[in-house]
Amino acid sequence: MHTVHSDPPYARVAVDTLEAIRAPRAPKLFVVSGPSSMELASVLGELGANDRGYGAEALGAVPETVRISFANSSPKFQLSDWLVRRATSGGKQRTVLLLEHLQHLPPDELCALEAAIRRLDGTNTRCVCTVTLPLPRASRAAFAAVFGRLRRDGLVHHVNLRPLSRHRLRDMIAAEIEAGAEPALVSWLWRLTRGWPAAARSVLRAAREEGVIRVVDRHAYLVGGDSCTLPFTIGELVLPVHETDGPAWEVAKAVAVLGPLGEAVPALTAEAVAASEPEVRGLLARLAEAGVLRHRRSDSGWEYRLPLAGAAVRASLGPYERRSLARIAVSALWRGTARCADPAYLPEQLAAAGRLVDPERARAELLDATKQLAHRNGDNAYDDHRGVRWLRAVAALTSDPVERARLLLEHAKICLAQGRPEEALDSLRLLHRAHRDHLRPDQLLDVCFAHLAALYRAGELTALEEIAADGRLQHPGPDGPLERAVTRGCALLLLGRWQEVRDLLGAVRWHDESGLVEWKAEFLAATAELWLGSTEGAERSMATLPARHRAGGATAAEVHCRVGELLALGEIRRAGQLLADTGRSLRQLGLPSRMLIALHRGRPREALDLARRSAITGVHTCDAVQSEMYHHAAVLLVYGGRLNRAGELLALARARQPMLPHLLASAQAMRELVYREVDRAEDLLSAAVRRAESDGVVAGTDLLWLRVADAALHAGRPEAVQECLAKVEGVARRLGTERAEMIRLVLHATVHTDHGAARAARRLAQQRQQPLEEGAVLYQLIRSGMGDAAMLWETYALLGELDELMPRFWLRLQMREHGVAVPGRQATAEENERLLAVLVSEGLTNKRIAKVLRTSEKSVEGRLSRLFSRTGHGSRVELAMAMLTGRLHL
């Protein structure tokens, strides 16, 4: 992709000011006012950077700049005389005086400044001043009078900084991190910064460094949703007060936590800082006059004018300091001397206070708040991460060791479901270390399996390899020989060593009175055998699953696992039925499974969004269902012309040790075929076939052999499709899935020119009611000469509904080749233009675009010139930026 360079937030203000300073009849005084020193410092930084590419050559260099700050106190000399001496001492040399924090000047010095500005007439000196708003109450009248007179006489040019709108903030994010921002990220950043550019830029940089913002497929996501807190500091410029401010700093810290508690804030703050209430009220008034705080009339609470400043102050609190303030808040709310309308405020303070308040009452209320959050959010109960944080606090407050063990296990399972394996490992290690004796045998085995899953998802594969070797956990776990065999089997399964799982568990002689360990072993063996092409065990498990689930004998994890397996095999209807029979909802599934359902139901945009959200979690590995997800997500991107984005997503998936690497190779080969790199595609596919056969893997090879056949046709070797058909016939017999049978019919029709098989494939595709799959089947049949004009038009319309630019383009070539009219001449021209814009935004050269579009470089150059002319974008970079921010509508 083209690198999209982002202008600093106030580059335009700086350039305009420098142009005005350079003008021969310009005012002598330039005033920039804004809400914080951070914003004003950003402007001054740009004014001092006129040699960094913001029109310096055109403006001319400023020979001398003198910088004076009034931040601490007024100068101990006559400002007017000093300015005039400074201005006249340089002769004809042009001088700019930067006067910072002018709001600190008392009224008499303001009048002296006015006199000095009037005496600068006829010199080459200009003054640039910054004023932080709001002005001190004592100086407001003087400022109004002085600047009113200067404005009347044309001696002052005033720029009052303005925040960005939400729309422009979204564009700024896109330019800054070269990725489109999800709505939750824009809302979060707006809530913190109110749209002030310099503050927003600082947050973006810090959040990316801390992993709070992650970018996948050129989309930026906020990890933890829009309830995400600020777990990092962002620099001194954000802090409105500092430790050197003494009592004011202490009050500011207290208000960062206690501010929402209405009329009780002064008294509670006085308790926190060990001062009298009148003293605190005076300090609150000072902070409000300085523009740090604001008193809310609606509930008499106190808040930071810039929410980011409050978040930064909270982040600066030490652990005990934070707990102590939380204790004060909780005690006041429990006594009834304070109120807060935010239902999340008390739970947050309970979680922070820990055992500084009554632990039993705190535990009960926090657990109740967690349940209420779950009820309000339904299946998304823990999406905002607050519920998980509260649940861990409940476990810490619980005195009953059995209940604490149960809560820690529940916390770990939720963290695993959320893609936060490191947090899950923390809870599981605590369970092993301190609560092993309080776990029932079935819970101990659950802990063992959860621990292995957390190690896998955290990418700790070396530890998993060690467990797979001897069945012993790093912490004490189930220690019988049967339990160790199952532990080894689970580790091997997670490592994708399915043949070893089958051999290991098949050799064990079970003598398990409870049946629990044997059932776990059967579950693992059935999963391993399924990927190896034997479905009997998985079918038995799924047949009894609804009844066992209703009787409480099957966990939600088992249901979700079986549903994921069906989805990975393309069995969408059976997966939906299993969900219905077990009373589970779609929203309770993991993101990869939800992605596959959205895909098969013909919702490609939702599917891609779910794939990206899955990719940004803390999971560092790629299981079988995720392998299927990444494969289909990459295919969707290729279909949309997003060729480089598809390559980047596949590279991400490959780095996560995929369980089914042949699926990723299939998608990569498709991308190479679009580039007309047939030899490269065939090499990829040959390696994938060898790997799958070596591992004994059958699952997903129906898609692989279909891609091999596609590459053979591109290479002009139709005879090779016969071998692909034979392979797919074997896959279809072993798996018995509809998808494998449908692919078999397509290849049979291709090899034998069998119109009956083509009709059967088409009929099965329609019955499966998966629009994306149906479009792919129809296109394959048309390429094989199985389609008439009616099928061409039907397929073209279907692909249009799915917004698949590349297949529509290929189909137009087929239609012209068969003498079939392409409907909608104007719409076709617009779609071609949109495809060209997409390919340009992907960073493809003209030569590569010509290969993709099967035309000449000269033709591409002409079409690009027309596109630039029509859209008003003069370069590839501008066009890419417009595509990124959604401002280009074609």
Cα–Cα distance measured from residue 427 to residue 433, given in angstroms and rounded to the nearest whole number: 10
Q: Do the beta carbons of residue 97 and residue 128 sit within 8 Å? A: yes
Sequence-ordered alpha helix ranges (H) in 715-788: 721-735, 738-752, 755-768, 771-783
Neighbours of 111 (CB within 10 A): 16
Which pair of tokens denotes residue 832? Answer: 């071609």
Cα–Cα distance measured from residue 568 to residue 685, given in angstroms and rounded to the nearest whole number: 20
Q: Do the beta carbons of residue 658 and residue 627 sit within 8 Å? A: yes
- Nearest partner of 198 among 231, 238, 241, judged by Cα: 238
Sheet holding 156-160, edge to edge: 64-69, 95-100, 125-132, 29-34, 156-160
- Per-residue model confidence (pLDDT) at position 95: 74
- Per-residue model confidence (pLDDT) at position 78: 55
Q: Return averaged pLDDT per consecutive 10 residues of the chain, 890 residues in all.
A: 54 76 80 86 74 37 64 54 59 72 86 84 80 88 93 89 91 89 92 92 88 92 73 60 79 95 96 96 91 90 92 89 96 96 94 95 94 70 73 94 92 88 92 85 84 93 90 66 86 94 81 70 92 94 88 84 95 94 89 95 94 91 95 96 96 95 97 96 97 95 96 93 96 96 96 94 94 91 87 90 90 89 89 92 93 92 89 82 73
Cα–Cα distance measured from residue 605 to residue 594, given in angstroms and rounded to the nearest whole number: 13
Q: Do the beta carbons of residue 366 and residue 350 sit within 8 Å? A: yes
- Per-residue model confidence (pLDDT) at position 236: 55
The dihedral through the CA atoms of 180, 186, 192, 195 has a sign that is positive
**Residue found by looking up tokens 């990124």 in the block:** 884
3-state helix, strand, coil in the chain (%, to 5): 70, 5, 25
- Per-residue model confidence (pLDDT) at position 220: 94
Provide the residue type at 811 as one letter: L
pLDDT for 706-742, tens place per residue? Answer: 999 999 999 999 999 999 999 999 999 999 999 999 9
Query: What single-letter DSSP state applies at residue 77?
Result: S
Residue 507: helix, strand or coil by DSSP? Answer: coil
Q: Do the beta carbons of residue 763 and residue 731 sit within 8 Å? A: no
Provide the residue type at 217 as one letter: D
Neighbours of 184 (CB within 10 A): 16
**Residue found by looking up tokens 């998993």 in the block:** 464
Provide the residue type at 381 as one letter: A
Provide the residue type at 798 as one letter: L
Give the pairing type, strands 29-34 and 156-160: parallel
Q: Do the beta carbons of residue 210 and residue 199 sit within 8 Å? A: no
- Nearest partner of 306 among 220, 177, 202, 176, judged by Cα: 202
Burial of 829 (0-12, 13-18, 19+ CB in 10 A): exposed
pLDDT for 812-857, tens place per residue? Answer: 998 988 888 888 889 999 999 999 999 999 999 999 999 999 999 9
- Nearest partner of 489 among 429, 529, 443, 437, judged by Cα: 529
- Per-residue model confidence (pLDDT) at position 5: 46
- Per-residue model confidence (pLDDT) at position 373: 83
Query: What single-letter DSSP state applies at residue 262?
Result: G
- Per-residue model confidence (pLDDT) at position 788: 84
**Residue 136 CB partners (closer than 8 Å, separation 6+):** 103, 104, 289, 290
- Name the β-bridge partners of 302: 295
- Per-residue model confidence (pLDDT) at position 808: 92
Cα–Cα distance measured from residue 865 to residue 863, given in angstroms and rounded to the nearest whole number: 5
Query: What 3 state SS string does 34-69 have?
Result: ECCHHHHHHHHHHHCCCCCCCCHHHHCCCCEEEEEE
Provide the residue type at 51 as one letter: D
- Per-residue model confidence (pLDDT) at position 51: 38
- Nearest partner of 630 among 641, 587, 657, 603, judged by Cα: 657
Q: Do the beta carbons of residue 485 and residue 500 sit within 8 Å? A: no
- Per-residue model confidence (pLDDT) at position 61: 45
- Nearest partner of 665 among 705, 609, 625, judged by Cα: 705
Print burial letters for 34-54: b (CB count within 10 Å at least 16), e (below 16).
bbbbbbbbbbbebbeebeeeb
Cα–Cα distance measured from residue 608 to residue 614, given in angstroms and rounded to the nearest whole number: 10
Q: Which helix (H) or strand (E) holds 73?
A: none
Cα–Cα distance measured from residue 497 to residue 537, given in angstroms and rounded to the nearest whole number: 18
Q: Do the beta carbons of residue 42 and residue 30 sit within 8 Å? A: no
Query: What single-letter DSSP state applies at residue 123?
Result: S
- Per-residue model confidence (pLDDT) at position 77: 44
Q: At what angle do helices 481-494 and 441-457 cross, to 10 degrees?
A: 30
Which pair of tokens denotes residue 571? Answer: 């069995």
**Residue 276 CB partners (closer than 8 Å, separation 6+):** 270
Q: For residue 235, report the phi and psi dihedrals to the nearest 5 degrees.
A: 105, 155
Sequence-ordered alpha helix ranges (H) in 603-737: 604-615, 624-639, 643-654, 661-674, 678-695, 701-714, 721-735
| CA distance from start to end of the chain | 20
Burial of 638 (0-12, 13-18, 19+ CB in 10 A): buried
Residue 214: helix, strand or coil by DSSP? Answer: strand
